[in-house]
């Protein structure tokens, strides 16, 4: 399946949805989704569900057996397991091999898996007026977040993508797989003298205040640095990028909001406004 999905919703009925993850207490998804629902007068009960490492699939089946369940979001560490669970995929989910959104098929008990991380990232870059057309991109990381982001990055018209990863073979595999459908070239980062327009950190290293082992020479005066991690202070990667000369630094809070907006659109066929919730989360 590609494109947005129409779901017929009776506005008088309360719809249910949830985010499954482990851990899950920190999730901001309920606040974001309830805010979106309010914009359209949709009754939505959106909860956090602590996924069990032993019985996640059973939990998912029970939750989604509810007649009024429109779908769920999936976060770490269940995105690949959810991919195995669903019946059908969006193109991006198929390419990523992981899903973060399940959507009920119309008048059915079956579900489609989507991956909205990449569209969320691109929407956030556009929100910050970062043009992607003909830009060179360095993607740091080859895990689930990098895999989810890459299909949308190459669709956005960039000129080339280089991938850097601690474990080089994973970068090679991701480059090879992406080259099988991408019209722009994807390579593994090897040239220490190369500079990039946009540098995206898709690792969790900033959560430990650590840095990927990339040289400072990748940044030029016009480079834009993006860290998928967001904290209540500047992340270690964005600090590093700024000191190395990047002109703009952006953390992943906007990506979180925008990927949620794409999920909401899949469920309710309505495009929520994201400006207010961005400001609200930033000020908390
Ligand atoms: P992982 O932690 O599995 O990260 C995998 C990547 O990070 C791999 O490329 C891995 O390299 C690399 N990595 C991990 N530890 C180290 C280390 N010590 N040194 C060097 N490289 C390391 O997570 P995900 O890919 O699922 O997510 C990455 C981050 O993105 C998470 O923090 C997540 O919260 C965030 N994220 C944010 C979103 C948002 O909306 N803002 C959406 C999705 C994700 P290797 O292959 O060598 O192991």
**pLDDT reading at 151 higher than 50:** yes
The three-state secondary structure class of 212 is coil
In which region does residue 163 sit, left (phi positive, over 0), alpha (psi from -120 to 50) or beta (all else)?
Answer: beta
Q: 103 in ligand 1 pocket by Cβ < 6 Å?
A: no
Instruction: Taking residues 153-176, report their average pLDDT.
Output: 97
Q: 204 in ligand 1 pocket by Cβ < 6 Å?
A: yes
Give the rounded percent of residues in the chain with a pLDDT score beyond 70.
96
Instruction: Taking residues 132-158, report their average pLDDT.
Output: 96
φ and ψ of 21, to 5 deg: -165, 175
Q: Are 248 and 224 in contact (CB under 8 A)?
A: yes
Which is it for strands 69-74 and 101-104: parallel, antiparallel or unpaired? antiparallel
- Index of the ligand 1 atom closest to the CA of residue 145: 25
**pLDDT reading at 7 higher than 70:** no
Cα(37) to centroid(ligand 1), Å: 30
- Index of the ligand 1 atom closest to the CA of residue 121: 40
Instruction: Taking residues 243-265, report their average pLDDT.
Output: 97
> What letter does residue 29 receive in the DSSP assignment?
H
Burial class for 77, CB neighbours closer than 10 Å (0-12, 13-18, 19+): middle
Residue of the CA atom closest to atom 11 of ligand 1: 166
Of 28, 78, 142, 143, best ligand 1 pocket probe by most atoms within 8 Å of the beta carbon: 143
Choose, from 79, 105, 220, 239, the residue flagged as catalytic: 79
To the query of whether residue 28 is one of the catalytic residues in this protein, the response is no
Tens of pLDDT, residue by residue over 11-65, are: 458 999 999 999 999 999 999 999 999 999 999 999 999 999 999 999 999 999 9
* Confidence band, pLDDT 50/70/90 cuts, at residue 10: very low
Instruction: Taking residues 147-165, report their average pLDDT.
Output: 97
Q: Are 9 and 39 in contact (CB under 8 A)?
A: no
| Buried residues in 264-284 as b, exposed as e (16+ CB within 10 A) | bbbbbeeebebeebbeebeee
Q: Tell me the pTM.
A: 0.94
Query: What pLDDT, on a 0 to 100 scale, did the predictor assign at position 87?
Result: 87
> What letter does residue 66 receive in the DSSP assignment?
S
Cα(202) to centroid(ligand 1), Å: 6
Query: What pLDDT, on a 0 to 100 scale, did the predictor assign at position 12?
Result: 56
- Index of the ligand 1 atom closest to the CA of residue 213: 20
Residue 201's contacts (CB-CB under 8 Å, 6 or more residues apart) are 140, 141, 212, 225, 226, 227, 228, 229, 237
**pLDDT reading at 2 higher than 50:** no
Q: Are 250 and 226 in contact (CB under 8 A)?
A: yes
């Amino acid at each position: 399946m590609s494109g947005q999905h129409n779901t017929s919703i009776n506005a008088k009925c309360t719809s249910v949805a949830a985010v499954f993850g482990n851990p899950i207490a920190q999730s901001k998804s309920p606040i974001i989704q309830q805010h979106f629902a309010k914009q359209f007068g949709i009754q939505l009960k959106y909860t956090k569900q602590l996924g069990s490492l032993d019985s996640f699939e059973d939990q998912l089946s029970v939750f989604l057996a509810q007649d009024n369940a429109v779908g769920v979001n999936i976060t770490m560490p269940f995105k690949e397991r959810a991919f195995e669970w669903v019946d059908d995929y969006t193109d991006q989910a198929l390419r990523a091999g992981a899903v973060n959104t399940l959507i009920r098929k119309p008048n059915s008990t079956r579900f489609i898996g989507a991956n909205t991380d990449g569209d969320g990232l691109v929407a956030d870059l556009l929100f910050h007026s970062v043009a992607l057309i003909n830009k060179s991109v360095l993607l740091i990381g080859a895990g689930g977040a990098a895999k989810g982001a890459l299909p949308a990055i190459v669709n956005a018209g960039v000129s080339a993508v280089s991938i850097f990863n601690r474990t080089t073979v994973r970068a090679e595999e991701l480059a090879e797989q992406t080259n099988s459908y991408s019209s722009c070239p994807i390579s593994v980062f090897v040239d220490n003298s190369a500079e990039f327009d946009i540098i995206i950190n898709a690792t969790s290293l900033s959560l430990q205040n650590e840095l990927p082992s990339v040289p400072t020479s990748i940044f030029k005066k016009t480079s834009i640095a993006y860290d998928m991690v967001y904290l209540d202070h500047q992340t270690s990667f964005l600090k590093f990028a700024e000191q190395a000369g990047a002109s703009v630094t952006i953390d992943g809070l906007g990506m979180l909001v925008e990927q949620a907006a794409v999920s909401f659109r899949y469920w309710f066929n309505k495009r929520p406004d994201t400006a207010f919730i961005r400001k609200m989360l930033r000020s908390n």
